[in-house]
């Protein structure tokens, strides 16, 4: 059965209040739509561990630092509802802009430290937008558990910090990155790649995998990063925004892998910004 779509907070709360009264646990999967198997894996994880599952779809204008990117972001709501059918989610919450940010809205949730680096350094205001909308979604859904992809690992850590700092009683669960057959991390943005560009895109995870193996054997980032960037560019990418080894908790820079390190990358291919990360230990 196609899950009901709820567009108002009042409607959503009527449902969650009844669920809570019945003692049921609630899981939420926040998304911006254009759903793929990565999103569906989060919905499945929620379905497996919670009595009720809410998938939210909201293309959040506050987290886009580029108006063109917001304009071009794929919107496929009816298809999204169909894709969720087989998983059996209880409701799809699709608030509009006025519902989320009514006239006079003036609050910004800003997480310090973790937001200054990696994507945060290149997308000013992006993570404030994420933290603001996610804190609203946590409060609106009153969920017990929230499911996020490790694909956006920095976002996952920021959301964890935000929920802990604001005492929002929710468990934030990170789920593994789902990939295409050639290794490219699934992303709604992949839809924006031409066939030609798409054929080149797997160079990013390929190079990262080679780096992962080398780093796990003890190689130093400073010895391998320039060659790795050159390989990504040689494969057809236009720019490597960052390619860095960091610790998995505080995201502090590392030159050598330890038991808890991750390799992070962002690179531009034919006008599309792709990000990826992989655990290294
Ligand atoms: P988005 O719609 O891109 O904002 O993503 C919504 C959620 O899906 C976020 O928690 C993402 O980290 C997660 N997600 C996106 N792509 C993937 C993927 N390839 N594998 C796992 N989770 C993903």
Q: What is the pLDDT of residues 6-50, one digit of tens each?
A: 999 999 999 999 999 999 999 999 999 999 999 999 999 999 999
Is residue 143 scored above 90 in pLDDT?
yes
What is the average pLDDT across 82-110? 96
Spot the catalytic one: 39, 122, 126, 281.
39
Q: Which of 152, 110, 140 is nearest to 127 (CA)?
A: 110
The architecture of the domain spanning 188-280 is 2-Layer Sandwich (3.30)
Residue to mutate (ligand 1; options 152, 178, 274; most atoms within 8 A of CB): 152
The domain spans of the chain are: 5-175, 188-280
DSSP state of 116: S
pTM (predicted TM-score): 0.97
Residue 241 is predicted with a pLDDT of 98
Q: How far is CA 175 from CA 46, 204, 231, in A?
A: 10, 21, 29
Is 90 exceeded by the pLDDT of residue 217?
A: yes
Please answer whether residues 28 and 137 qualify as being in contact, where contact means their C-beta atoms are separated by less than 8 angstroms: yes
Tens of pLDDT, residues 34-91 = 999 999 999 999 999 999 999 999 999 999 988 888 888 888 888 999 999 999 999 9
- For residue 141, is pLDDT > 90? yes
pLDDT score for 74: 86
- Residues with CB under 6 Å of ligand 1 are 31-32, 38-39, 41-42, 148-149, 151-152, 175, 177-178, 185-188
- Is residue 95 within 8 A of residue 7, CB to CB? The reply is yes
Pairwise CA distance, residues 9 & 231, whole Å = 48
Which of 270, 278, 276 has its CA nearest to residue 204?
276
Residue 65's pLDDT is 85
pLDDT of 139 over the 90 cut = yes
CATH number for the domain running over 5-175: 3.40.50.620
Query: What sign results for the dihedral spanned by CA atoms 215, 221, 224, 225?
Result: positive
pLDDT score recorded for residue 72 = 87
Model pLDDT, residue 52: 98
Q: What is the rounded average pLDDT for all residues in the chain?
A: 97
Q: What is the DSSP letter of 34?
A: S
Beta bridge partners of 92: 5, 55
In which band, very low, low, confident or very high, does the pLDDT at 209 lie, cut at 50, 70 and 90?
very high
Residue 159 CA to residue 183 CA, distance in Å, equals 26
234 has pLDDT over 90:
yes
Has 281 been annotated as catalytic? no
Measured by CA distance, the residue closest to atom 8 of ligand 1 is 39
Amino acid 202: pLDDT:
98
Q: Which atom of ligand 1 is nearest to the CA of 42?
A: 22
């Amino acid at each position: 059965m196609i899950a009901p779509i709820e567009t108002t907070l009042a409607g959503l709360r009527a449902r969650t209040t009844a669920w809570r009264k019945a003692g049921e646990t609630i899981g939420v999967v926040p998304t911006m739509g254009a759903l793929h198997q990565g999103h569906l894996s989060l919905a499945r994880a929620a379905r497996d561990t919670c009595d009720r599952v809410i998938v939210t779809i909201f293309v959040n204008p506050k987290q886009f630092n580029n108006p063109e990117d917001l304009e071009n972001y794929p919107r496929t709501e009816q298809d999204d509802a169909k894709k969720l059918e087989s998983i059996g989610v209880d409701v799809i919450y699709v608030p509009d802009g006025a519902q989320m940010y009514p006239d006079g809205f003036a609050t910004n949730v800003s997480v310090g430290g973790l937001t200054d680096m990696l994507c945060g350094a290149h997308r000013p205001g992006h993570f404030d937008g994420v933290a603001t909308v996610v804190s609203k979604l946590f409060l609106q859904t009153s969920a017990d558990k929230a499911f996020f992809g490790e694909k956006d690992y920095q976002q996952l850590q920021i959301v964890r910090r935000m929920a802990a700092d604001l005492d929002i009683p929710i468990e934030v669960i990170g789920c593994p990155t789902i990939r295409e057959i050639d290794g490219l991390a699934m992303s709604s943005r992949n839809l924006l790649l031409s066939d030609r560009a798409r054929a080149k895109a797997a160079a990013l995870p390929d190079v990262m995998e080679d780096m992962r193996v080398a780093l796990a054997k003890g190689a130093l980032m400073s010895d391998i990063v320039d060659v790795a960037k050159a390989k990504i560019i040689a494969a057809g990418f236009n720019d490597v925004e960052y390619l860095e080894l960091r610790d998995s908790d505080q995201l502090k820079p590392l030159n050598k892998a330890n038991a808890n390190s991750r390799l992070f990358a962002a690179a531009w291919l034919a006008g599309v910004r792709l990000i990826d990360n992989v655990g290294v230990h």
